[in-house]
Amino acid sequence: MSDEHHTWKIGSEPPIIRPHSLAKHRVLRAYLERYVATLTKNPRQDVFRLTLVDGFAGGGKYTDSRSGDERPGSPIIMLEAMERAAEIAQQTRSKPFNLDVNYIYIEKNPEALEHLRAVLNASKYAGLLGNQIRLLDGEFVALAPNIIKLVKGRGRAGRVIFVLDQCGYTDVPFPTLRSILHTLPNAEVILTFATDFLIDYLSEHAQTQRTAEKVGLSMPPSLIRTAKEARNWRRIIQFSLHEQIPHQTGAKFYTPFFIRSADSHRDFWLIHLSGHYRARDVMVGLHWEQSTDFAHYGRSGLNMLGYDERRDVNLTSQKMLPGFYFDDTAFASSHDALLDQLPEKLYDLSDGMPFGELFSALTNECPVTAEIMKNVLGDLSKEGIVEVRDKTATTTRRVGVQHDTDIIIPSRQKRLFLP
């Protein structure tokens, strides 16, 4: 399925990029830079090996209708982000640092692939084509097993990020993601999923069952029937998706962002899947930083992070709708909510739990970073509700959590007064 916004032809003007795609590109660029920065903190490390897979690469270039400027597509954004990440890593090192990245770009439309080749050939990255950059003509799912082998062949760490920007919701079945995440424990996935298209399509007919099965979802007719009887039926289906995605993909950590397109009035989800809580922390931290673009929906239940064109200050010059933004107000309300909720979560942990494990257990539920949670635990410790001790549990930390191994213990006296 491709549309006028994703149709490339050599010699024709590149397609117009829509604001929600620009927002998606901002997240991608920032995440890739942050990912490398996080994993290359140690200045003694002089090489970092990574594979970036763009499974739905497109033609490499767009036109911005507002300025008439050219805008890079995701394959070029990956190259630019890695160039910047290498510069940043070099700043803290005296010896040369080698950011050794292989790029695999897959595109099933031959005209789009040729357009991408031409864009790369005309760019400063032309010399990488055929060496570090491979262009593959075909469908992502069919090529996935070979890509897994290629990544495994590059070394034990198997660091790889799959950017899977499908147009609908059927081209990246969850069993394929499960096999990637299972075989490559350090793999991460950034997946586009056209939630509203799926919801519009759902019916009690047998074809829906076949499609859901292909995607790897369970959408029994009884669920669809019950959901459709409810006033907020879209929400019910979204909630079921929200619960099924980490389960069906086997991802330990999961962050869904919604992206609302003003012109199609349809929500997409940009889903981040990973095997480590720090990866999720980096993604959520990035949203706190880019506080103008993203909003978080719902304090409980379906905890969604999202982008809404109507709230994009770059377009509207003002925040139009009330909501949870990753700003000072959101910071204060998250802090207060956690101050309320954490003691209850900690109540049963009489032996305590290392901070890393605690954050890892709760992180999928809330849009806060490790820093915010440490802050709240610091306050709870000042109030005597919890104790923070070092990993041997012998030294009490008066200043709050210092390391992920520090142990959080609910204090005995205060436990008597908790519900």
Ligand X SMILES: C[S@@+](CC[C@H](N)C(=O)[O-])C[C@H]1O[C@@H](n2cnc3c(N)ncnc32)[C@H](O)[C@@H]1O
Alpha helices in 40-139 (DSSP H): 74-91, 110-121
Phi-psi sector, 404: left (phi>0), alpha (psi -120 to 50), beta: alpha
Q: How far is the CB of 106 from ligand X (least distance, A)?
A: 5
Rounded to a whole number, what is the distance in angstroms from the first to the last CA of the chain? 54
Q: How far is the CB of 126 from ligand X (least distance, A)?
A: 19
8 A C-beta contact, residue 53 and residue 161:
yes
Whichever of 108 and 252 has its CB closer to ligand X, that residue is 108
8 A C-beta contact, residue 161 and residue 50:
yes
Residue with tokens 């770059």: 314
- Cα four-point dihedral sign 362, 364, 367, 372: positive
Whichever of 3 and 328 has its CB closer to ligand X, that residue is 3
Whichever of 6 and 311 has its CB closer to ligand X, that residue is 6
Q: How far is the CB of 256 from ligand X (least distance, A)?
A: 18
Whichever of 32 and 408 has its CB closer to ligand X, that residue is 32
Q: How far is the CB of 72 from ligand X (least distance, A)?
A: 8
Q: How far is the CB of 172 from ligand X (least distance, A)?
A: 8
Chain positions contacting ligand X, by CB under 6 A: 2, 6, 56-58, 73-74, 106-109, 112, 139-140, 165, 167, 171
- For the beta sheet containing 407-410, the strands, ordered from the edge strand earlier in sequence to the opposite edge, are 353-354, 407-410, 386-389
- Cα four-point dihedral sign 306, 265, 165, 302: positive
Whichever of 107 and 281 has its CB closer to ligand X, that residue is 107
Q: How far is the CB of 96 from ligand X (least distance, A)?
A: 31
Whichever of 39 and 76 has its CB closer to ligand X, that residue is 76
Residue 130 token pair: 């055929």
147 class by beta-carbon count within 10 Å (0-12 exposed, 13-18 middle, 19+ buried): buried
